[in-house]
Chain A
Amino acid sequence: MIADFDYQFFIEVLVGGLLSGVMYSLVAIGFVLIYKTSGVLNFAQGAMLLFAALTFVSLVERGVPFALALVATFAIMVVISIAIERTVLRPLTNKPPITLFMATLGLSYIIEGAAQLIWGTQVHGLDLGIEDVPLEIGGVLISQFDIFAAVVAAGMVVVLSLFFRYTRIGLAFRAVADDQFAALAVGLRLPLIWATVWAAAGLVALVAGLLWGARLGVQFSLSLVVLKALPVLVLGGFDSILGAIAGGLLIGASEKLAEVYIGDYFGGGIESWFAYVVALVFLLIRPSGLFGQKLVERV
C-alpha cells in the first residue's frame, strides 16, 4: 500500500492546495488589518471584495482601459472604505463588539444591494490575461493562474509589511493595535490611522476580488468567500497577518488533501466543509490561533 503511494500526485495536490490557500489568506488579511486596529470583525469585507470586482469588471466592459479601471476602482474602494469607517463605525466606538459586528453584517447587505443596483445582477467573466493552464515544474503540474495569484498575494504582503514596519503611520498603526487607550493618551491621530487601515483593507479587497473574480466569475456568491476566510482566521488568529497567511496555507492544503484522500469515505464533496472541521478542532486546542496575540510580558 505504502509502496504504491503516488508521491508525485500527492505533491501536486499539496501544491494546488497551498496555492488556493494563498487566495484565502488574501481575504483573511483584510479582516486582520481592521480587527487589529479597531477590534471590529468586519463582516462586510466580502461585500467590499464583490463590490471591487464588480466595479472593475463593469468599467472594463464599458471600454475603460485595464490600468485606468484598476486605479479608478482603487480610488472608489478607498472612498467607500473611509466613508464606512466615518459614518458607521466611528459613531459606534466604545459599543460592545457584538454591536459592531451586527453593524458590519448589515453593512455587507447594503453594499451588495448597492452593487446590484448600480451594476446589475448578471454574472460577468473577468479576464486578467493569465491563462489557467497547468505548467509542468519538476514533473508536477501546477496551475499558472495559481502561481500568478500566489505571487500577487506575496507581493501584497511584502508591501504591507514594509509599510507597517518602516513608516510613521505604520508605527502608529502598531501602537494602536497594541494599546488603543494609550495611543489616544499619547495623542496619536486615531482617525487618520483608521482611515489608512480601511484604505488598505479596500486595496486588499480589490486584489482579492480580482483574483477570486477571475477564478469564479464575478457574481454575487463572490461575497461568500468571507465564509472561507473565517476558518483561516480561527486557525491563524484574528490579529496576525502572518497567522492569516499560515492559516490560509494550512486550510487550503488540508481541504484539498482531505478531499482527495479521505473524501471517498464520506461520499466526496468534503472540500467545502472540511475547513470548518479543522477550525473547530483548533478552537478546542488553541483558541487564540497559531499566531494570535500572545501577550509580551515578563513573568
Chain B
Amino acid sequence: MSKKKKTWLDTNTFHHSEFWNLLHLIEEKEKQGLKISLCIPTLNEEKTIGKEIIIFKSELMNRYPLLDEIAVIDSGSTDKTLEIAASFGADTYLSADILPKQGFKPGKGENLWKAIHQLNGDIIVYVDADIKNIHPRFVYGLVAPLIYHKKIQYVKAFYDRPLAFSQGIRPSGGGRVTEILIRPLFAMFYPELTGIIQPLSGEYAVRREVLQDIPFPIGYGVETSHILDVYHKWGMKAFGQTDLDQRVHRNQTTISLGKMSFGILQSFFNRMQKYGGIDKLPDMNQIYKHFQAQDQQYQLVEEEIKEEERPPMSTIPEYRKKFGLDK
C-alpha cells in the first residue's frame, strides 16, 4: 500500500455523523459568505421527489438555513414530478429553457451542466431524485467537507448498498458497474483513484470554480469523466468522500447496466486520448485494489492478479512429438 494513498484515505474520507452539528456548520458557512444551491436532476421521479423536497426544505432551509436554493432541473418528465416539486416549494426548471441558444440534449449530465448557469451557489450539491430513504445527511454530509476544508473541491458520496446484499458478503459499497468496470479500469490506469470508494455515486458537492472549468458528458459518463478531469487538473487532494450509510433506490436491470458501461467506456477512452494515454499504455498494473468494509472502517485490499499466458500448444516440442507434427 502506498503511503500517499493511505494518507488521502485517512484525511479525506468522512462519515456524515462527523457533521451532525448543523448550527456550527451554518456559522462557518456564513463566516465564509458562501451560498449553497441544491440541484436535483429529474426525469419522471414523481414517486420520490415530494419527499426529498419536503425533507430538504424543512430541515436545511427552514430549520437550519444551510441551503440558499432548492432547484429541480427536469429533462421533460411526463409524470407529475414538476407539479409535486413545485407544490412543496422547490424552484423548478425545464432543462430545455435554460441557455436556450445552446440547445437541449436529453440526459442527466445536461441538467447538471445547466444548473451551473441557472443556480447561484458558490457550492452546488447534486442529489439524485430516486432515493427512497432521503435524509438531510445526503446534503450536509457532502457540503460540510467543502466548508471545513478549503483545499477540497469535489466531495463524492459513498454508501452501504442494501440492494447489493444478495451474495451474502458485504461488498465495498460499489454497485455492479463500479466493481466490474470502473474499479478494474482505475486499478489498471489510475491506481490512486481506486481510493474513491464509489466513483459512480450520483450525489456530490462541488465548488463553482471547479464546475465551470470541466466539461460535462450529458449521459452515463459524467461522473467518470469528472473524476478523471478533476484528478488531472487539481490532483487527488481535491477530492473528499463521505460515507452516507444506506441509500435505498430502484435496482437496475443488467441490460441497462450494459448500456451504462458502454457510455462510461466512451468517456473513459475520450479522456485517455485527451491525456495522451491511449497510444502509450502504462506498465500494466498487476495489483488489484479494492475495498473491504468492516463496521465503519474501509480497508484497502491489494491482491496480485497476474494473468500469465501459455503459448499455442503447437509450439511445445513434447506435443509436436506425440502428435507427429514434425514428420
Q: Do A and B come from one complex?
A: no
Which residues from chain A sit less than 8 Å from chain B, CB to CB?
none
Which residues from chain B sit less than 8 Å from chain A, CB to CB?
none
